[in-house]
């Protein structure tokens, strides 16, 4: 994982190497990324963090590709 600067502080982005890990490791990484986005969004009382986390065009698409079964 690397931390990428965003307009709303910092968001943890999951690299494409996540796809090379086993299912359990991917699940942990995805849940961490999801939790981070939700936490930032709650702190700022807006949905920008969650929307950015779920948008496949800004580098977060591989998060959803890694674990399609995870409920956000």
**Domain range list for the chain:** 2-66
Position 7 scores a pLDDT of 45
C-alpha gyration radius of the chain: 11
* pLDDT above 50 for 16: no
pTM of the model: 0.23
Beta pairing partners, 32: none
pLDDT average, residue stretch 3-15? 47
Question: Taking 60 as the threshold, does the pLDDT of residue 43 lie above it?
Answer: yes
Q: How far apart are CA 44 and CA 20, in angstroms?
A: 33
pLDDT score recorded for residue 52: 57
SS3 for 20-60 is HCCHHHHHHHHHHHHHHHHHHHHHHCCCHHHHHHHCHHHCC
């Amino acid at each position: 994982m690397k931390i990428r600067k965003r307009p709303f502080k910092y968001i943890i982005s999951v690299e494409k190497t996540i796809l090379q890990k086993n299912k359990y490791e991917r699940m942990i990484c995805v849940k961490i990324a999801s939790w981070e986005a939700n936490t930032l969004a709650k702190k700022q009382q807006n949905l920008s963090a969650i929307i950015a986390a779920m948008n496949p065009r800004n580098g977060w698409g591989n998060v959803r590709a890694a674990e399609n079964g995870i409920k956000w």
